[in-house]
């Protein structure tokens, strides 16, 4: 079956929006935060923790990324040398423990910017006991993680209400066994299973910049157009649009993150598949290209969903 084509007026409007946003450097908190959370889009950094690695996906520290407008962090977790550390495939002794990132970078940023909401997307290779022990080193995180079951609202709460609640850290995990309420020595941490609370396209554009698979097929068995979260009627899964290659190439990131390329992939492939705009736009080397301009356009201009 042929996918429905987007309305051509949307494409024409995009270029006007691009002109308006051409001077926009960052994708910070929108001025209007009164709509449900799933009506907004956020720059998300893939392998956010690898700025100092041998093959980095980012060249800035997490603190710099947050200051630069990133509001979603993709983090790989592995148990190594008695701690849960941020590392890709193989941990070394220098790999940063998760609690250190929370204590030294995430929580200080939230203190500096009282209106910010940050989402953590965990690719977790640990067990619940190790993860709880690690998060026990971050006692100030308790009370700050988003608990969806504490909200009796008919849809996602607004960013405004999330900020008022203090639950400004949304945590999603690809490992269902480590989701739910994780009890640490300091208190409860709430983790949402990614496959319930999000939909996500397949993560790779191709192994190298020589290939560009722009199709927008689901990473999992469930379709990108899924409309409800189990146990939360009326709540739509948040949509992660991945836009990066299997191997990181900073010299090519400006092309992958170019406004026209992001915009074309969204209109021609991801929007027909998901029937809506993405909430998290995940990229390598986020500051290369136009990811911030693109998410601003999504939030301010793009229609929320197709009928």
Q: What is the pLDDT of residue 7?
A: 41
Topology of domain 37-300, CATH: TIM Barrel (3.20.20)
DSSP summary character for residue 1: -
Q: In the block, which residue shows the tokens 């192994």?
A: 207
The predicted model scores a pTM of 0.91
Q: What is the pLDDT of residue 1?
A: 38
User: Half-sphere exposure of residue 62, counting CA atoms within 13 Å on the CB side?
Assistant: 27
* Domain residue spans of the chain: 37-300
Helix orientation angle between 291-300 and 8-21, rounded to the nearest 10 degrees: 120
H or E element, residue 173: strand 169-173
Distance CA(63)–CA(29), nearest Å, equals 16
Residues contacting 165, CB < 8 A, separation 6+ = 157
Q: What is the pLDDT of residue 15?
A: 33
Q: In the block, which residue shows the tokens 């006007």?
A: 16
Q: Count CB atoms within 10 A of the CB of residue 12.
A: 9
Residue spans of the chain under pLDDT 50: 1-25
**What's the burial of 50, exposed, middle or buried (CB within 10 Å: 0-12/13-18/19+)?**
buried
Q: What is the pLDDT of residue 26?
A: 58
Q: What is the pLDDT of residue 202?
A: 95
Q: Which residues of 116-139 are buried (b: 16+ CB within 10 A; e: fewer)?
A: bbbbbbbbbbbebebbbbbbbbbe
Q: What is the pLDDT of residue 88?
A: 86
């Amino acid at each position: 079956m042929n996918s429905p084509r987007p309305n051509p007026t949307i494409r024409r409007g995009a270029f006007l929006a691009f002109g308006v946003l051409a001077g926009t450097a960052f994708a910070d908190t929108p001025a209007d935060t009164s709509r449900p959370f799933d009506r907004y889009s956020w720059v998300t950094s893939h392998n956010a923790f690898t700025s100092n690695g041998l093959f980095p996906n980012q060249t800035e520290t997490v603190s710099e990324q947050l200051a630069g407008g990133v509001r979603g962090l993709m983090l790989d977790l592995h148990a190594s040398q008695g701690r849960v550390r941020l590392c890709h495939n193989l941990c070394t002794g220098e790999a940063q423990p998760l609690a250190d990132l929370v204590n030294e970078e995430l929580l200080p940023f939230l203190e500096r910017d009282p209106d910010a909401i940050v989402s953590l997307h965990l690719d977790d290779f640990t067990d619940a006991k190790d993860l709880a022990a690690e998060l026990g080193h971050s006692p100030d995180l308790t009370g700050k993680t988003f608990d969806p079951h504490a909200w009796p609202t008919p849809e996602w709460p607004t960013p405004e209400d999330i900020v008022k609640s203090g639950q400004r850290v949304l945590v999603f995990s690809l490992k269902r066994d480590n989701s739910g309420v994780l009890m640490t020595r300091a208190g409860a941490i709430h983790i949402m299973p990614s496959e319930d609370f999000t939909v996500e396209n397949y993560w790779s554009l191709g192994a190298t910049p020589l290939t560009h698979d722009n199709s927008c097929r689901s990473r999992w068995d469930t379709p990108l157009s899924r409309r409800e979260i189990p146990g939360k009627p009326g709540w739509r899964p948040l949509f992660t649009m991945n836009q990066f290659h299997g191997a990181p190439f900073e010299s090519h990131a400006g092309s992958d993150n170019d406004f026209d390329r992001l915009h074309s992939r969204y209109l021609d492939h991801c929007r027909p598949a998901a029937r809506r705009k993405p909430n998290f736009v995940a990229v390598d080397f986020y500051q290369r290209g136009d990811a911030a301009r693109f998410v601003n356009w999504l939030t301010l201009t793009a229609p929320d969903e197709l009928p």
